[in-house]
Amino acid sequence: MKKIQMVDLKSQYDKIASTVNASIQEVLDTNTYINGPQVHQFQKDLEIYLDVKHVIPCANGTDALQIAMMGLDLKPGDEVITADFTFAATVEVIALLQLTPVLVDVDVVNMNISIEAIKKAITPKTKAIVPVHLFGRSANMDEIMAIAKEHNLYVIEDNAQAIGANYTFADGTKKKAGVIGHVSSTSFFPSKNLGCYGDGGAIFTNDDALAHKIRGIVNHGMYERYHHDVVGVNSRLDSIQAGVLNAKLPFLNEYNTARRLAASKYNAAFEGNKNIVTPAFDLNGDDHVFHQYVLRILDADRDALMQHLLDKGIPCAIYYPIPLHSQKAYLDVRYKEEDFPVTNQLVKEVIALPMHTELDDEQIKFITDSVLEFLK
């Protein structure tokens, strides 16, 4: 059996090596390391793929979130509501901009921000909501957009984990995750569903004025060379990374389908097991693109299961082991433990199994047999 990895980027690369190598070689041959034609090509192709007016590439997903917030002119002290159960980057940039993060609990089924918790957290100071499309599935955007409209709030989607996922609205229409709110961000970190071979990120919006503003912010606040109209940052997707992304974007749907297929095989093997809650999804749909395949383990020792898998050479991980409201950097006297029952429960129950585009049946069987053997 091929060695099991949490993410197998080498096997994925081997299949597209000649295209990737040619893309990189082109940058080297033309010396267009920064802002080369590869970056513009990628921007245009991603706009078409997502059906969004503006993609603004930048250096990574954390910058993308920060720049999106800078573009909205949020002011120190403005409250920004986001999920307690996510990667720290989401709350980090809120704090960094001296906005006030307001962490709220998540939904136990889709593990995304809880609609009830958002409603409870709104105050006159609330200016924005940041839903995170966690593990590859979109948050409930019908409800979030309705709340935002009612209270005049911005919605900034953190789409680092769900590129290519579709969100189906209550009326049956669909849009890609990341093009529903006012602005959104994504990451092209190598292990992401669309990953480059270094750091990369992008901001998406349909708002022309906001896109213009953000294009200046990513480039030191310049709209005209050496005229700095706003405080900006230096955040660029380099041409080599754009070349890699140009080679991979045509395969994104195929990659996401491979992830969904692997998830469906995991789910089938675990069906009916009383200790396992599998992620629910529609195999024929495209709602969940499985950036991570995350199980909840009930009435069993999750940490001992993890050790059992590691002992058998099966990588696995806990995303995320500590709620953000309990992290030293984000402690706040306003938070009460009883406001986070679901996150506090999930951090003890979740385990992520290997998930990538190259998992084969033999590996999946070995992984699922090993999980079931422990839970017997």
Ligand X SMILES: Cc1ncc(COP(=O)(O)O)c(C=O)c1O
- Pairing outcome for strands 183-187 and 201-205: antiparallel
Angstrom distances, CA of residue 266 to CA of 1, 167, 239, 278, 349: 17, 23, 37, 8, 17
- Cβ nearer to ligand X, comparing 306 with 324: 324
Separation CA 176–CA 253 (nearest Å)? 12
User: Taking the complex as a whole, how short is the minimal distance between the CB of residue 286 and ligand X, in angstroms?
Assistant: 20
Cα diameter, the chain = 67
User: Taking the complex as a whole, how short is the minimal distance between the CB of residue 112 and ligand X, in angstroms?
Assistant: 11
- Cβ nearer to ligand X, comparing 132 with 183: 132
- Pairing outcome for strands 126-130 and 154-158: parallel
User: Taking the complex as a whole, how short is the minimal distance between the CB of residue 25 and ligand X, in angstroms?
Assistant: 25
User: Taking the complex as a whole, how short is the minimal distance between the CB of residue 187 and ligand X, in angstroms?
Assistant: 3
- CB within 8 A of 116, min separation 6: which ones? none
- Cβ nearer to ligand X, comparing 58 with 364: 58
Separation CA 310–CA 124 (nearest Å)? 48
Residue at shortest CB range from ligand X? 61
- Cβ nearer to ligand X, comparing 112 with 357: 112
Which of 256, 237, 186 has its CA nearest to residue 41? 237
- Cβ nearer to ligand X, comparing 105 with 158: 158
Catalytic residues: 192
One-character DSSP codes across 147-187:
HHHHHT-EEEEE-TT-TT-EEE-TTS-EEETTSSSSEEEEE
User: Taking the complex as a whole, how short is the minimal distance between the CB of residue 253 and ligand X, in angstroms?
Assistant: 21
E-assigned strands of the chain? 54-58, 79-83, 100-104, 126-130, 154-158, 166-168, 174-176, 183-187, 201-205, 222-224, 227-228, 276-277, 293-297, 350-353
User: Taking the complex as a whole, how short is the minimal distance between the CB of residue 202 and ligand X, in angstroms?
Assistant: 10
Angstrom distances, CA of residue 216 to CA of 28, 37, 75, 179: 27, 19, 19, 21
User: Taking the complex as a whole, how short is the minimal distance between the CB of residue 28 and ligand X, in angstroms?
Assistant: 24
- Cβ nearer to ligand X, comparing 89 with 145: 89
Question: Could you tell me if 62 and 93 are in contact, meaning their C-beta atoms sit under 8 angstroms apart?
Answer: yes
Radius of gyration of the chain (CA): 21
Per DSSP, the chain holds a count of helices (H) and strands (E) of 12, 14
Which of 371, 354, 368, 373 has its CA nearest to residue 306? 371
φ/ψ of 140, rounded to 5, equals: -75, 85
- Cβ nearer to ligand X, comparing 186 with 267: 186
**What residue ranges bind ligand X (CB under 6 A)?**
60-62, 86-87, 89-90, 132, 158, 160-161, 187, 189, 199, 201
